[in-house]
Structure 1
């Protein structure tokens, strides 16, 4: 299997190649006939096989929810493509030795969902191979280990920095493999009872290179925001907690506050919660920016590893 994340016409596109030991005509039936397609595709499908025809996807075995699409390309037995709401799915079958090469592309908008999509499609294409071979299919949850390896392969673990009228903002967005409640419990640990606006920040939400001030906003179990401040000439704090996190250090004086750190756990792809972590800073705290970018990337990687462990 070969997964690649591209950008085509401004949209993310996942491209997967797989060699199958079956001729194109045989694979074509599994890709285009609803009775076979529904065995390995992530929905039950109903359609008439012609360009412009409606495609109905039932995600609940006849009990909904359901969505629609349209067949947009059809070249028997070579190319088949249809929309799924706003996404575009396309299969191309190329003769190869005694079998064929399947080239599958999925064009979508949620770039940070790409690892979830890729791990899910790998599982679907494994099932496709079994269907064509006449073997039984077992549907299982995609591997958290595979998911996070694709996050790294696609560069989705990297943060961004942008200029703002007040200085700068760094931002990470990452699909996680556990729901928000589980992530929150892990981050708060045994400090849940003490968590309150104006109080100290639980160690799980911090890194040693960003000295926390006071909690400024909290919505359990989806959001925590706090102020941060510089220590001397942008020197990092030297008090650390578990997994490289800085321990609670009290409340910064207002004159020391350099910006805010905000953790948000939002709805993701269904694989788990979507983490959006941002930090703002003034131009006067620019020296801390690069350290923070590296520290947060490492912290989120450790968090992802802990969540993978919970799935075992």
Structure 2
């Protein structure tokens, strides 16, 4: 098993998953291209005109009209099947390997921070494909833990440092979480703040981290946003803002930013480390909570 994430140009990312399957390319090809077999392991129902330029429709359970559309971009039986998936590109390649074959999936997309969701999803799909080929029922796995392992493996937990127009700095963390915004908000705000927080109130412990002294809440809209000024030497030094957006649809997308003034490099470095650890602890806590 070999999974990698790389830049593909134009601000897009390429996720590459490689698996060895104990079946020849011709048998796997059928499972990759036959809608009747795709229904057992692919994340949606598939309608396909199997020729280059042929139209594709991806229908999710309970809906009649295609939720997404695509076009076949490459077709070389039983070696390569590539198509668009909305704005993304999927390329499936099969190479003989002994009595079986080597399957390589390359998924190219624009949402880099969604990579862990995509990787864990395709991991589960390919596991189900292998089970189908072997005449077995796929065993359900823990997608949340798998997702978090990909976050770490792909370096998606790290924060970025940006320079602001006034010469100050902005820290930015973006992370796809495994639970919905309501559950994340409860984890951050605690029981007393889960129903709602207002400007002027103290910042709940979950929204604060060591080394970043918090003033009062300046803005709060449960379960989406919370911001406050952080203090240095007893005076406001910048703004901390939490946002819980939709992300990949598998859970909330956390975007955390902190701004700071010029000349506060030590505080910037300390904050970068502290928030990295704080978000990791939040992610671990969410794994123990039901969505």
Please, what TM-score do these two structures have when normalized by structure 1? 0.89
SS at 1:268's partner residue? coil
Unpaired runs of 5+ residues, structure 1, are: 232-251
Does structure 1 retain, via aligned residues, the 8 Å contact 2:80–2:94?
yes
Aligned-pair distance for 1:137?
Answer: 4.2
- Distance in 1 between residues matched to 2:102 and 2:20, nearest whole Å: 4
SS at 1:136's partner residue? coil
Instruction: Find the counterpart in structure 2 of residue 2 from structure 1.
Output: 2
Aligned-pair distance for 1:2?
Answer: 1.6
Aligned-pair distance for 1:59?
Answer: 1.0
SS at 2:182's partner residue? helix
Instruction: Find the counterpart in structure 1 of residue 275 from structure 2.
Output: 296
Q: 1:83 to 1:188 in 2, by over 3 A?
A: same
- Distance in 2 between residues matched to 1:156 and 1:283, nearest whole Å: 27
- Distance in 2 between residues matched to 1:267 and 1:194, nearest whole Å: 19
Instruction: Find the counterpart in structure 2 of residue 267 from structure 1.
Output: 246
Instruction: Find the counterpart in structure 2 of residue 237 from structure 1.
Output: none
Aligned-pair distance for 1:62?
Answer: 4.3
SS at 2:155's partner residue? coil
Aligned-pair distance for 1:311?
Answer: 4.3
Aligned-pair distance for 1:286?
Answer: 2.6
Aligned-pair distance for 1:9?
Answer: 1.9
Does structure 2 retain, via aligned residues, the 8 Å contact 1:230–1:285?
no
Cα RMSD (Å) of the superposition?
A: 1.6
SS at 2:39's partner residue? helix
- Distance in 1 between residues matched to 2:182 and 2:64, nearest whole Å: 27
- Distance in 1 between residues matched to 2:5 and 2:290, nearest whole Å: 26
Q: Aligned pair count?
A: 288
2:209 aligned to 199, 207, 226, which one? Answer: 207
- Distance in 2 between residues matched to 1:272 and 1:142, nearest whole Å: 15
Does structure 2 retain, via aligned residues, the 8 Å contact 1:45–1:57?
yes
SS at 1:299's partner residue? helix
